[in-house]
Amino acid sequence: MISPVLRTVKDTGASSTPKRLAIAVATAAALAALAAAALSGEPSTALRAFFVAPFSNASSILNMVELSAPLALCALGVIVTFRAGHYSLGGEGQAYAGSIAAAAAGYYGYAALGPGATLAAVVAGVLAGAAVAALPAMGRRFAGAEVLLTSILVSQGFIFVIDWAIGGPLRDRSGNLIAMPALETEALLARLEPPSTLTVAPFVVLILCVAASFYFERTRSGAAHDLYGRNPRFAELQGYDVERLSWAPVVASGMLHGLAGALMVLGAKGTAIRGMSGGIGWSAIGAALVAGSRPSAVPLAALLFAWLDSGARQAAVLSDLPPDAGMAIKALVILVVSSRPSWTAVKAFMRRTPTRRAK
Amino acid sequence: MQLATLTSIRKYYPSTNALAVDGADFSLERGEVHALVGENGAGKSTLAKILCGFESPDSGTVAIRGSPVSFSSHRDAEKAGIGFVPQYSMLAPGLSAADNVALGHEPRFLGVFSDRRRVAYDFSLLADRYGFSVNPDAIVSTLSASGRREVEILRALARGGGVLVLDEPTSILGERETEALFALIRRLKSAGAGIVYISHRAKEILDLADRISVMRAGRVERTIRPDDTDECGLADLIVRSSSCAAGTDSGSTPGKPGLTLRSVTLSRRGSDSLDGADLVVRKGEVVAVVALGGNGLDALEDVAAGVVGPDSGDVLVLGKDIHSYPPRILRSGVMAYIPTDREGRGLCAKASVALNAIAGRLRGYSFADFALGRAPLADADALLASFDVKNGGRRRVDTLSGGNRQRVVAARELDGPADVVVAANPTQGLDRSSRAALLSRLAEMRDEGSAVLLLSSDPEDASELADRSFVLYRGRLKALSGPGSDDSAIAAALTGVEP
Amino acid sequence: MIHLSALLLDAIAFLAVLAPAAIGGLATEYAGSLNIALEGLMLAGAFSYMAFGAAFGTVAGFIAAMLVPSAIAYVSDLFSRKANADSFVVGLGVNMLVPAAASMLSKYVFGSKGVAAVAGLQSGRPFAGAASIPVVGALFGQRSSDYLAFGVAIMVALVLARTPLGTRAKAAGMNRDALTMAGIDSGGVRGAVYALSGLACGISGAALASSVGAWVPNMSAGRGWIALVAVYLGGKRLGGTFAASALFALLLSLATRAQAITEAPAELLLSLPYFLTAVVVVLGSSRSKRK
């Protein structure tokens, strides 16, 4: 889909995407094996949880694909903002807001809309994500406030509010779980391959990734978006619409995160559960990084993280691997992928000749 | 005895894949000024950096006073008495003048804390000794360009002074400051110091140098005495092709006003302010405004290009307020703009050269053309070829040298017809031949009917190209009589001398 | 009715947590590098205090709370410099790694994955006797850990404002070439300010942990981010950063105190400081934009 012709026009200067993905997969596998062997009381069970169980049958694989879908959407959102030079860290709250809005629309809208409530839930999720992103976006547009600072603050604030809403007025008191009432099955996305949890979500992700890739690599707006992200002053002087670029990517990212939150509710979870976003905003930044900020690589990067998540969860249940091992491995994968040791530097270090910065 | 000897120096930069110095030999005697000349990229600066310990050579030897040395940082070179005055500012702009000079050698009290009084006192002593009058507590960013240069020189002299290396020291200095600098150099010389003087300015070199080494393609091609040549002869040595017969004449007569400034005032920017500037640039003429740093040239650039609105007064493009143009319209065919701040405004350094080249005409492509066609790349190649940027398209801009970056900006901005051209220091970083190419392209655009405003801190640009010239001094514009005012008149006006 | 002295007492306690971390953030900001990992480093400080405190006593706890985050910050910066990794991304990695690692270690150290209270690790209030003096009493009623945190914050501020390292860090942030000219390795300067930053964040985490005497997962709850905001809102200057921290400390204490007197749910009140801070950032930016 991406011809080399345009690559030459739009070079990011980073190491190639396949190489990054390969490094990430190798690191993740090595760390998972290490964690299973070193931290679990039953290493063989833990190893099996990581390396055998997720691939043992079609339904486990499809579950993993389904699990990767919301993460991929969030990562796509991260890419949209980061490539505009806005370092939005508010993904967590945006996704969480998408979840509660979708659950509310799906639950309360079912009476009026029937199965149409699914669509209402998706729309509500997208809008809620955009709403959480609105203050950072507008602050940037009208006051020039750093999205990095405002997004995390607003997101943190909304997390408190949503925690309260799910645990308070919207809570389903009949269960032990702090969660909203479960949605009707008809309001959820249809399962395509029972018993797996696969829904239409991964296909939506694929379409969006292809579209985003086309946007960045092949359209004039995408090129302007990239140039703005790397040098806003330059983009302004070239006459691009920098006012729109100062806020629209932030809102678009909020919508993608909101959609991700909605799909979590309408897919495997079935309702909004307290704390359900579970660090997805941070994982998404990692996945975006593993994908080298290229939308075309997002599905694979998300799948890698989904595998780590499900493997770690299985291992925690079956053996006594600490459940946070998955998050720790993800963090280490991010660190490894972010490094770009240059060979000249390595060679110079081996020879111990001092190197200095060339002007 | 020879103060410094560099023998068969080689230096290769893997990041830009360039052999910057390729077996150069160079020597410096006590009490001499040894000028180092050559085109951009000939290796002058790299050779100087090796002598000053910023770079270590891949092969070859550096000897100071006869004994071989291996510097691992500029600190080592300083210990050997070598001071360096860089071409571009290497000062911390937010620190005081005294702090900048003391950096890395701070006097302390109680062993831990900076001794600020001592820092300021040492600085005053040093400044007095060399006859400078910089306030030690002045924050560097508030100093004028020449004030900053003085701080750089003081830093170079603070430790040592046996060898002084100056990289294009006069590029931002006015006549008077240049004279003062030359007097200082002569004084140091008679005290036995050796001075390496890198410059493009043939006249200065002939004035000052005892020996002249010409570098080309990483080698010192020959070393001559100033008596062996004259200004034109030296210029020909620097550039292979003759460039001494420059100067273009306007073939057209000025038409309607392209760019008009009516009593434009911009204040609250310190020394960089405008005070009631009136200026009309008509289509088919080049108007040059010359100023030394800190006299309002940046302010004039900002208002003329529409980056900043004036406090009062009007800026009109083709008779309409510049801010009434939507940015997209202004920048496609109405106004071409070559900014002084090349990296900040003129380029997106982290994108490819090709994308930078076509950035101004993105909207000119249809959706399908840009998505699927070959036009964008072909256009980029053609544009870059027009300014002789070789094998550039695929590389990122930040891997290019300064001169090549300037050519990318010029290629993009000076490509199509434009009603108004605002060119601010357009020749910065260019060697003689590309400078000539750029000036002739500006002349061509004038002949095609563009109104060209040339803002420059180099009077030579103005005298070569301008139909009318102005000087900007302390925010006020002053017209110079007729084209081709002689150099001394410009110099007098630039430095505020009343005729 | 909220008691003014009680409010001040709380505000100063919050400030003891925010100020060191904010000044730590300022340290790397001086050198031109955004330390996004304040939150993670605070958490590392809190955990180290509890873990080492439980094993070897409070003093060891405080020392570890400064050294461990300092080492983490130094190593992460070393990694980003030597491996050519983006410091922003490395900081995010640290923010993800620390809570995960702490929760894994917590199982071995405290034998529980959740909240772990350790007797004797809650700091006392040494001058509580003087706390009844109206208004200024709030200055005396603090825990000893809070005084320690202020002491460390002042020490770090002194290093930044009055030592060659501080000047060099500023020079590194303004124009790295200035250091090259002085023959100083700018990487070394950056490493030093990162270590300093980690140390300051560590003591702020320790102050947090010793105020409750327990390890609570994710106990920093976004305060590292507020500290980072204080650096920006304070114009990247010492005085401004401290003033901004004081403002946020007051907001946090208002939210906490309000729980006692209103029917409003605690979570809603706790969300308010974050929203207000965001609004303050927007207003502050619009002012500096107009300037």
Interface test with B, best of A219, A231, A343, A344 (most B CBs within 10 A): A231
The answer to whether B104 contacts C175, with C-beta atoms less than 8 Å apart, is no
| Domain annotation covers residue C263 | no
Count CB-CB contacts under 10 A for residue C122. Answer: 16
Mean pLDDT value across chain A: 86
Residues A111-125, mean pLDDT to the nearest whole number: 90
Which amino acid does the sequence have at B171?
A: S
The answer to whether B103 contacts C168, with C-beta atoms less than 8 Å apart, is yes
Element (H, E) at B340: none
The answer to whether C282 contacts A168, with C-beta atoms less than 8 Å apart, is no
What's the gap between Cα A287 and its chain centre? 6
Q: Nearest CB to C167: which of B74, B95, B112?
A: B95
Mean pLDDT value across chain C: 88
| Domain annotation covers residue C240 | no
Question: Who wins on pLDDT, A126 or A60?
Answer: A126
Q: Nearest CB to B90: which of C162, C180, C184?
A: C180
Q: What CA–CA distance (Å, rounded) separates A92 from A151? A: 10
Q: Measured in Å, how far apart are chain C's first and last C-alpha atoms?
A: 40
| Domain annotation covers residue A4 | no
Q: Is B155 left (phi over 0), alpha (psi -120 to 50) or beta?
A: alpha
| Domain annotation covers residue C37 | yes
Residues B156-174, mean pLDDT to the nearest whole number: 80
Q: What CA–CA distance (Å, rounded) separates B24 from C13? A: 66
Q: What residue of B is the nearest CA neighbor of C163?
A: B113
Which amino acid does the sequence have at C76?
A: S
SS3 A219: coil
Distance from CA of A13 to the nearest CA of B (A): 7
Note the CATH architecture for domain B257-494: 3-Layer(aba) Sandwich (3.40)
What domain count does chain C have? Answer: 1
The CA-atom distances, in angstroms, between C69 and each of A84, C43, C106, C194 are 32, 9, 17, 10
Chain A, chain B: beta-carbon pairs less than 8 Å apart: 109
Q: Nearest CB to B362: which of A214, A218, A220?
A: A220
Q: Which chain A residues are closer than 8 Å to B352 by Cβ? A: 8-11
The answer to whether B367 contacts A8, with C-beta atoms less than 8 Å apart, is no
Range of the domain at A65: 18-339
Dihedral over Cα of A75, A81, A85, A89: its sign = negative
Residues C226-240, mean pLDDT to the nearest whole number: 91
Confidence of residue A4 (pLDDT cuts 50, 70, 90): very low
pLDDT of residue A52: 85
Residues B195-219, mean pLDDT to the nearest whole number: 86
What is the β-pairing status of strands B113-114 and B163-167? unpaired
Contact C277, A157 (CB under 8 A): no
Q: Nearest CB to A356: which of B54, B326, B396?
A: B54
Q: What CA–CA distance (Å, rounded) separates A129 from A126? A: 5
Tokens of B356: 């930078």
Angle between helices C4-30 and C186-212 in degrees, nearest 10:
160
Contact C7, C62 (CB under 8 A): no
Q: Which chain A residues are closer than 8 Å to C79 by Cβ? A: 335, 339
SS3 B33: strand
Residues C114-140, mean pLDDT to the nearest whole number: 74
pLDDT of residue B181: 86
The CA-atom distances, in angstroms, between A261 and each of A123, A189, C221 are 11, 14, 22
Q: Nearest CB to B114: which of C163, C175, C179?
A: C163
Count CB-CB contacts under 10 A for residue B253. Answer: 10
pLDDT of residue B427: 85
Residues B44-73, mean pLDDT to the nearest whole number: 89
Contact A161, A297 (CB under 8 A): no
Which amino acid does the sequence have at A8?
A: T
pLDDT of A3 higher than 50: no
Report CA Rg, chain C.
19
Q: Which chain B residues are closer than 8 Å to A11 by Cβ? A: 351-352, 394-396
Q: Which chain A residues are closer than 8 Å to C288 by Cβ? A: 144
The answer to whether A152 contacts C89, with C-beta atoms less than 8 Å apart, is no
Query: Who's near B331: CB < 8 A, 6+ residues apart?
Result: A237, A238, A239, B337, B360
Q: Nearest CB to B78: which of C175, C179, C183?
A: C183
Q: In what order do the strands lie in the sheet with B163-167?
A: B82-85, B163-167, B194-198, B33-38, B211-216, B219-224
Tokens of B46: 């790299």
Nearest-CA neighbor of B299 among B319, B281, B327, B279? B279
Q: What CA–CA distance (Å, rounded) separates C139 from C15? A: 12
Residues B49-56, mean pLDDT to the nearest whole number: 90
pLDDT of A309 higher than 80: yes
Share of chain B above pLDDT 70, in %: 89
Chain A, chain C: beta-carbon pairs less than 8 Å apart: 147
Distance from CA of B88 to the nearest CA of C (A): 10
Q: Which chain C residues are closer than 8 Å to B106 by Cβ? A: 164, 167
Residue B336 forms beta bridges with which residues?
A: B421
- Burial of B457 from C-beta contacts in 10 A (0-12 / 13-18 / 19+): buried
Confidence of residue C119 (pLDDT cuts 50, 70, 90): confident
Residues B116-134, mean pLDDT to the nearest whole number: 88
Residues B120-140, mean pLDDT to the nearest whole number: 89
Residues B473-498, mean pLDDT to the nearest whole number: 64
Tokens of B289: 């405004």
pLDDT of C181 higher than 80: yes
Tokens of B71: 């510097």
Confidence of residue A358 (pLDDT cuts 50, 70, 90): very low
| Domain annotation covers residue C156 | yes
Q: Which residue's structure tokens are 């210990």? A: B79
Q: What CA–CA distance (Å, rounded) separates A273 from A170? A: 11
pLDDT of residue B34: 93
Q: pLDDT tens digit string along A313-355?
A: 888 888 878 878 888 999 999 888 888 766 555 655 555 444 4
Contact B295, B274 (CB under 8 A): no
pLDDT of A24 higher than 80: yes
| Domain annotation covers residue C231 | no
pLDDT of C217 higher than 50: yes
Q: Is C225 on the interface with A (CB under 8 A)?
A: yes
Q: What CA–CA distance (Å, rounded) separates B147 from B93? A: 12
Q: Which residue's structure tokens are 């100062």? A: A246
Domain of residue A161, CATH code: 1.10.3470
Contact B216, B39 (CB under 8 A): yes
Q: Is A42 on the interface with B (CB under 8 A)?
A: no
Q: Is A170 on the interface with B (CB under 8 A)?
A: no
Element (H, E) at B29: strand B18-29
Residue B18 forms beta bridges with which residues?
A: B13
The answer to whether A139 contacts C289, with C-beta atoms less than 8 Å apart, is no
Mean pLDDT value across chain B: 83
Q: What residue of A is the nearest CA neighbor of B400?
A: A359
Distance from CA of B140 to the nearest CA of C (A): 11
Q: Nearest CB to A161: which of C271, C281, C282?
A: C271
Contact A354, B72 (CB under 8 A): yes
What ranges do the domains of chain B cover?
Answer: 2-238, 257-494
pLDDT of residue A346: 60
Common-topology check for domains B2-238 and B257-494: yes
Residues A279-308, mean pLDDT to the nearest whole number: 91
pLDDT of residue B172: 63
Residue B22 forms beta bridges with which residues?
A: B10
Distance from CA of A239 to the nearest CA of B (A): 4
pLDDT of residue C288: 66
What domain count does chain A have? Answer: 1
| Domain annotation covers residue C285 | no
pLDDT of A292 higher than 70: yes
| Domain annotation covers residue A12 | no
Nearest-CA neighbor of C23 among C190, C202, C165? C202
Q: Is C112 on the interface with A (CB under 8 A)?
A: no
C→B contacts (Cβ < 8 Å), by residue, are 162-164, 166-168, 170-171, 174-175, 177-185
Element (H, E) at B62: strand B59-64
Residues A134-157, mean pLDDT to the nearest whole number: 92
Confidence of residue A206 (pLDDT cuts 50, 70, 90): very high
Interface test with B, best of A6, A238, A343 (most B CBs within 10 A): A238
Query: Who's near C74: CB < 8 A, 6+ residues apart?
Result: C191, C194, C195, C198
Q: Which residue's structure tokens are 């000939």? A: B42
Contact A63, A310 (CB under 8 A): yes
pLDDT of residue A12: 44
Contact B376, A220 (CB under 8 A): no
pLDDT of residue B401: 75
Q: pLDDT tens digit string along A159-201?
A: 999 999 998 888 888 888 888 888 888 888 888 888 888 899 9
The answer to whether A9 contacts B337, with C-beta atoms less than 8 Å apart, is no
Contact B83, B163 (CB under 8 A): yes
Q: Is A222 on the interface with C (CB under 8 A)?
A: no
Q: pLDDT tens digit string along B140-150?
A: 888 877 788 88
| Domain annotation covers residue C250 | no
Q: pLDDT tens digit string along C3-36?
A: 777 888 888 999 999 999 999 999 999 998 899 9
Q: Measured in Å, how far apart are chain B's first and last C-alpha atoms?
A: 48
Residue B59 forms beta bridges with which residues?
A: B10
Share of chain B above pLDDT 90, in %: 15
Q: pLDDT tens digit string along B227-273?
A: 887 777 777 776 554 344 444 454 556 778 889 999 999 887 766 78
Q: Nearest CB to C285: which of A139, A285, A330?
A: A139
Confidence of residue B392 (pLDDT cuts 50, 70, 90): low
* C9-20 burial code (b ≥16 CB/10 A, e <16): bbbbbbbbbbbb
Q: Is A220 on the interface with B (CB under 8 A)?
A: yes
Residues C155-159, mean pLDDT to the nearest whole number: 94
Q: Which of A4-8, B92-96, B372-376 has the lowest mean pLDDT?
A: A4-8
Residue B451 forms beta bridges with which residues?
A: B285, B420
Q: pLDDT tens digit string along B422-473?
A: 999 888 878 778 888 899 999 999 988 899 999 987 777 777 888 888 888 7
Q: What CA–CA distance (Å, rounded) separates A202 from A188? A: 15
pLDDT of residue A80: 95
Range of the domain at C11: 4-220
Which amino acid does the sequence have at A288?
A: A
The answer to whether B374 contacts A5, with C-beta atoms less than 8 Å apart, is yes
* Residue A202 preceded by cis peptide, ω within 30: no
Pick the CATH number of B2-238 from 3.40.50.300, 3.60.15.10, 1.10.10.10, 3.20.20.70: 3.40.50.300
